A and B are shown apart, each in its own frame.
Chain A
Amino acid sequence: MRFVLLSCFLIAVLGSGLYFAKLSVDEQYRTLKQLEHEIKSQTEHNYVLQAEWTYLTRPERLLRLSQSLLGMNSIAPERILPISSIPMARTKSTPSLSANAGAGNVVY
């Protein structure tokens, strides 16, 4: 009899343990589904936002705005110089400046 009672008690404990485990699995499953859904809808939002961002930063618009609002233009070739045309500071090891240095020596 004692054995039967003990078994019953054990079954009851294990059964309810299993039941609560199942409940928590269900809960986690629900959270997972919710997260998946959220990811999907965020991805969807992301697509829309990316498309909007691309639309707003399309080069045609930026070109128009930078010209009309900021008065920007392309860089003139005269303003781009090779690094060698910049005179370097005089040090002891290089007593005189290179004859080629200086922007005036660059011919385009």
Chain B
Amino acid sequence: MWYIKAIKFFQSLLWPSHPEPAKSRKIAGYRLVFSGFSIFLIFCLIGFKTVNLAIKKTQVPIDSSVANFDKTRGTIFDQKGRILASTVPVNILYADPKHIFNPEKVASALLPFLPKLTKETLLKRLTKNSRFSELDRKLTPKRHSAILQLGLPGIYIKPATIRIYPQGNEAAHIIGAVDRDNNGIAGIEKSQNELLASGGNIYLSIDAGLQTILRAAVKSQMEKFEALGGASLILDMKTGEIIAAASLPDFDPNHFMLSTDAARFNQVTKGVYEMGSIFKVLNTAIALESGAIDLQQTIDVSKPIPVAGQLIDDYKPINGSIGVAEILVRSSNIGSAHISQMIGPQTQRQYMNQLGLLKPSSLEIIENGVPILPKNWSHITAMTVSYGYGLSVSMVQAAAAIAAAAGDGYFITPTLLKRDPNQPFKKERVFSTQTSKAVRSMMRLVVSNELGTGNKADAKGYLVGGKTGTAEKVKDKEFSRNANRVSFVATFPANDPAFLIMIMIDEPVGQKHSYNLATAGWVVAPAIKNIVNQIAPILNIQPVDILRPENSQNLMPVMKIDGEEATYATY
């Protein structure tokens, strides 16, 4: 057998039985070759390994704590580049209950660092039947290091991101909020979710500074008059950008889940309301534009109009006949109803449609109110719509429509996103320059004339024009005299309106200092004055000298109020 021979051969090499001089020399030779070969093999092995190690690709350890941060959700900025919503890294503290052997001990050690949890809930989480049990999402660096130093087994920290809103409650309804997985659930966060989720940034038309002023002014007025709520906006009339929008009560998007449904409701864009007398601005503009009436014509407003078993009446009865301007300045329902009959329901409807009041606006937000239209647009409907009843629209819609009437006559679709100044946008002419000139002059008289309802809004130097509105709220299917929604729409400066402020206060209560009155003139007008005084210097609006021809030529002085002709000096 060949293997027995081989074994014997190797045996003879290692333990030679009979060392003979001739043979032992041969054996020594074999031994030499064998050891040489073995050493050569070992060197080959070492060389191979060395080369192998040298050509192997170097691996660099990557810290996992920042691995995913570049895929973060985009930032929302205001129009000046201030952060409204951003994403920051956080550390999530979690437990793997399978690695915890003494939950009681771990719980008592952790408890001082988790102020939001009670011992029971902490124990429940530490004994949960899963491999991941979240304990805290917003770990501060201090608590982070303290917990690391405890060195508890089964307690781990992993990096994540969190959405933060540094401006707190400001513009919360517009910005919206995200859920735990950073998906938008409200406002711009939801409507622009796709863009934000892919890392894109968004610039809103909102200006955080003006937003703060607006919100503070409305809030203080609401508190003074014990009101239920308030909504307000500032619109750039030249571009259609909404530069501030506050709906109160509001919420802190950093703690969205803690807010009530009432606080989450956006009254500026979502709520649709009967606007009341501020619609008279539109009625006047439509009447002048359609040629139904001219500025010299007068209408008898002394008798209330009986309609469908009810009376269209004036808050303060007026005797005799008055002109269009005086009807607006003194806010006569009777006069407006008469004018609407001269316009006719079809023409009125057509203009309302052109002003975007009959369909939802194309605002870039999901909370977008759908207008409630009258069932049929009859003569009676035309009368009620003329002074703001029977047609419910959102505040943004009303503001855009009034901006068209009081501005340059162009209807501009309102937007919440910053417009590129080099990009042209759609402007639709609805009213002629002559009509809008008349309308803004009348709106100025509402504030400047002593018969006007908005005297308290007159911010000296800034030529505020406006219109008050008081709409009765429907309670138990009936209009309630005691529950009102008062509003004020103001434009300034009246010679060349650039900005529109609209404020609506829900159910204000008359106070001692207002002689128990809670009308728009008492509740909202002072807030308008306060806001204009603060924002005009920021918006680069200079006080206007009305006696200079370049300013006065934009207004119309020939309007009789209370038998007296108005002059430039009275503006």
A residues less than 8 Å from B82 (CB atoms):
54, 58
Q: Across the interface, name the chain A residue whose C-beta is closest to B90.
A: A48
Complex formed: what's the CA distance from A63 to B86 in Å? 23
Q: Are B168's CB and A108's CB within 8 A?
A: no
Which of B55-63, B273-281, B472-480 makes up part of the contact surface? B55-63
Q: Are B66's CB and A63's CB within 8 A?
A: no
Which residue in A19, A34, A63, A82 is a CB contact (below 8 Å) of B542? A82
Interface string of B366-403 (1 = CB under 8 A from A): 00000000000000000000000000000000000000
Q: Are A43's CB and B69's CB within 8 A?
A: yes
Task: Let me know if A47 is at the binding interface, CB within 8 A.
Answer: yes
Task: Let me know if B537 is at the binding interface, CB within 8 A.
Answer: yes
Task: Let me know if A29 is at the binding interface, CB within 8 A.
Answer: yes
Once A29-B60, A74-B533, A108-B545 are accepted as A-B contacts, the answer to whether A60 and B87 lie under 8 Å apart by CB is no
Complex formed: what's the CA distance from A60 to B170 in Å? 9
Q: At the interface, is chain A mostly helix, strand, loop or mixed? A: helix
Q: Are A74's CB and B537's CB within 8 A?
A: yes
Which of B92-100, B127-135, B207-215, B442-450 makes up part of the contact surface? B207-215
Question: In this complex, which of A29, A37, A59 has the most chain B Cβ atoms within 10 angstroms of its Cβ?
Answer: A59
Interface string of A42-65 (1 = CB under 8 A from B): 011001101110110011100100
A residues less than 8 Å from B460 (CB atoms):
77-78, 108
Once A40-B70, A48-B89 are accepted as A-B contacts, the answer to whether A26 and B166 lie under 8 Å apart by CB is no
8 A Cβ contacts from A6-34 to B = 19, 22, 26, 29-30, 33-34
Q: Across the interface, name the chain A residue whose C-beta is closest to B209.
A: A59
Q: Are B545's CB and A82's CB within 8 A?
A: yes
Task: Let me know if A41 is at the binding interface, CB within 8 A.
Answer: yes
B residues less than 8 Å from A58 (CB atoms):
82, 166-168, 170, 208, 212
Task: Let me know if B546 is at the binding interface, CB within 8 A.
Answer: yes
Complex formed: what's the CA distance from A19 to B460 in Å? 82
Task: Let me know if B185 is at the binding interface, CB within 8 A.
Answer: no
Q: Are B66's CB and A41's CB within 8 A?
A: yes
Q: Are B543's CB and A77's CB within 8 A?
A: yes
Question: In this complex, which of A34, A43, A51, A52 has the most chain B Cβ atoms within 10 angstroms of its Cβ?
Answer: A51
Task: Let me know if A75 is at the binding interface, CB within 8 A.
Answer: yes
Q: Are B542's CB and A26's CB within 8 A?
A: no
Interface string of B516-539 (1 = CB under 8 A from A): 000000000000000001101100
8 A Cβ contacts from B56-83 to A = 58, 60, 62-63, 65-66, 69-70, 72, 82-83
Once A44-B89, A51-B83 are accepted as A-B contacts, the answer to whether A60 and B537 lie under 8 Å apart by CB is no
Q: Are B54's CB and A19's CB within 8 A?
A: yes
Complex formed: what's the CA distance from A22 to B57 in Å? 10
Task: Let me know if B544 is at the binding interface, CB within 8 A.
Answer: yes
Complex formed: what's the CA distance from A106 to B88 in Å? 53
Complex formed: what's the CA distance from A52 to B168 in Å? 12
Interface string of B151-170 (1 = CB under 8 A from A): 00000000000001011101
Task: Let me know if B547 is at the binding interface, CB within 8 A.
Answer: yes
Task: Let me know if A107 is at the binding interface, CB within 8 A.
Answer: yes
Complex formed: what's the CA distance from A50 to B84 in Å? 11
B residues less than 8 Å from A41 (CB atoms):
63, 65-66
A residues less than 8 Å from B72 (CB atoms):
47
Q: Are A78's CB and B461's CB within 8 A?
A: yes
Task: Let me know if B483 is at the binding interface, CB within 8 A.
Answer: no
A residues less than 8 Å from B213 (CB atoms):
59, 63
A residues less than 8 Å from B60 (CB atoms):
29-30, 33-34
Which residue in A29, A54, A108 is a CB contact (below 8 Å) of B83? A54
CB distance from A17 to the nearest CB of B (A): 13
Q: Across the interface, name the chain B residue whose C-beta is closest to A27.
A: B58
A residues less than 8 Å from B216 (CB atoms):
60, 63
8 A Cβ contacts from B431-467 to A = 459-462
Question: In this complex, which of A44, A77, A106 has the most chain B Cβ atoms within 10 angstroms of its Cβ?
Answer: A77
B residues less than 8 Å from A80 (CB atoms):
461, 537, 542-543
Once A22-B55, A59-B209, A77-B543 are accepted as A-B contacts, the answer to whether A47 and B88 lie under 8 Å apart by CB is yes
Q: Are A59's CB and B212's CB within 8 A?
A: yes
Once A51-B88, A55-B166 are accepted as A-B contacts, the answer to whether A77 and B69 lie under 8 Å apart by CB is no
Once A74-B533, A78-B461 are accepted as A-B contacts, the answer to whether A60 and B212 lie under 8 Å apart by CB is yes
Q: Are A44's CB and B66's CB within 8 A?
A: yes
B residues less than 8 Å from A47 (CB atoms):
72, 86-89
Interface string of A69-94 (1 = CB under 8 A from B): 00000111110101000000000000
CB distance from B401 to the nearest CB of A (A): 29
Q: Are A33's CB and B461's CB within 8 A?
A: no
Complex formed: what's the CA distance from A76 to B164 in Å? 37
Which residue in A76, A78, A107 is a CB contact (below 8 Å) of B546? A107
Which residue in B63, B89, B537, B543 is a CB contact (below 8 Å) of A37? B63
Given A47-B72, A60-B167, output 16 extra A-B contacts at Cβ < 8 Å.
A22-B55, A26-B58, A29-B60, A44-B69, A47-B88, A54-B167, A55-B166, A59-B212, A60-B216, A77-B460, A77-B533, A80-B537, A107-B545, A107-B546, A108-B461, A108-B546
7 nearest A-B pairs in the assembled complex, by CB-CB distance: A77-B461, A108-B461, A77-B543, A55-B166, A59-B212, A54-B166, A26-B58
Sampled A-B contacts (15; CB under 8 Å): A30-B58, A30-B60, A33-B60, A33-B62, A34-B60, A44-B66, A60-B167, A77-B459, A77-B460, A78-B461, A106-B545, A107-B545, A107-B547, A108-B461, A108-B546
Which B positions have Cβ atoms within 8 angstroms of A? 54-55, 58, 60, 62-63, 65-66, 69-70, 72, 82-83, 86-89, 164, 166-168, 170, 208-209, 211-213, 216, 459-462, 533-534, 536-537, 542-547
Which A positions have Cβ atoms within 8 angstroms of B? 19, 22, 26, 29-30, 33-34, 37, 40-41, 43-44, 47-48, 50-52, 54-55, 58-60, 63, 74-78, 80, 82, 106-108
